[in-house]
Chain A
C-alpha cells in the first residue's frame, strides 16, 4: 500500500504523516511510529523506528527537514524510509544492518515550518516560535544546539534566518531530539540531512580545531561521496563544517559529536541545476537514489566499527 504513494511528488505534512501509518501497517514487524514530543504549535513530532528486536541495540539517528523549505530532504526521507523497509529481507546489506542496528528516522523534523511552507510562505526556514520583544518569528533550529551556542555563524537578531534563539535547546523540536538521544543512550551515529549545496560534512562547525576522529570521519566521507557520484556523477565536497563552509555554531552534528555520537554527519543534497530550494519534483527520486549508497556506506561503517 505504501507503494501507491507517489514518491516523485512533494507532499503536505498530513500526507506524509498518513503515509507513515501506511508504512507501519505494511511492515509491522520492522517499523513502528513513536512520538518524541510536540512542536511549538503542538504538532506531534513523529519518528519511525526500524528495529528487528532486541533491547537497546546500537542505534542510528536520521533526520530530514529541520530547515522546512528544503523540501527535497523530507521527500528524500520518505523515499529512504520506504527503501529501508522494502529492502529488509531482500537486500543482504540492509538485512544484516537492521538485524543488528536500530534506526530512528525523523522525516519532518520541523513540522510547524513545513506546514507553513505549504500554507503561507514556501521559503520559510525556521521554527514558528514567537520571540519575546520582536515581531519576527522563529528560530533557526540548526543554530539552537548546545555546542558553541551563540558563537560565529549564528545571529542574535530574531529577524535573521540564522537566529540562534534565546538559549540552547529553546526550541521543542530540538529539545525533543536531545532528550530522546540522551535517554536512549546508545546512539552511535547521527545523520542530519539538508539541501542544496552538495556537501557531506562532519564536526566541528563551531571551531576550527580538527575533531579527534577527523581522519576516520574524513575517509568515510570521501568513500561516501565517491559512491554517491558513481550513480549520476553528482559532485559533492566533504570535510569538517568549518573547513567546508564556514564557522557555524550551535549545529546538530556538533552537539551529537560532543555528546558521544562519534559518527555525526550532515548532508547537503542537490541542486545540480539552478533551482535552489525550488528543486523540481522530477529530481526527488534521482536525489534520493544517489544519496542512498552514501548513506549506506555510513550505516555499514557504523555497524562494522562498534565502539
Chain B
C-alpha cells in the first residue's frame, strides 16, 4: 500500500500567464513528483498540487523564488486517508 505520510497539498494561485506556464513546467519535472489535483488554468484561479514530503522543500523554494503565492490546503494527506478509512470501517460495522 502506498502511504502519503507528510505529503501536502498546496493551493497555488498564479497571478499571470507566465506563472501558469511556470507551474506547468513544474509539473513536467518528473523528479519532483508533483501531482496536480486541480490544474493551473487562469490567473487568479487556484491550482492544487500534491507534493511528496521528500520534495516539499524544493517545490516551496521554486514557488517562492518565482513569487507564486500558495497556502497549505492539506497539511498531511495520510491523516485524511486514515480518517477516511476509519469512517468506512465504522459505516460497515453499523450496516452489519
Contacts and interface: CB of A to CB of B under 8 A. Distances in A.
A244 B64 CA distance: 27
Contacts of A55: none
Interface residues of A, number: 26
Interface stretch (A56-64, A76-84, A276-284): A276-284
Contacts of A4: 95
A285 interface: no
Interface of B, helix, strand, loop or mixed by DSSP: mixed
Interface residues of B, number: 27
Given A119-B1, A123-B50, A161-B35, A275 B80 contact: yes
B65 interface: no
A222 interface: no
B84 A122 contact: yes
Query: In terms of DSSP, what is the predominant structure of the interface of chain A?
Result: loop
Contacts of A300: none
B37 A277 contact: yes
Contacts of B88: 9-11, 281
B38 interface: yes
A167 interface: no
Interface of A: 4, 6, 8-11, 119-123, 157, 159, 161, 196-197, 244-246, 274-278, 280-281
Interface of B: 1-2, 4, 9, 11, 30, 35-39, 41, 48, 50, 73-74, 77, 80-81, 83-84, 87-88, 91-92, 94-95
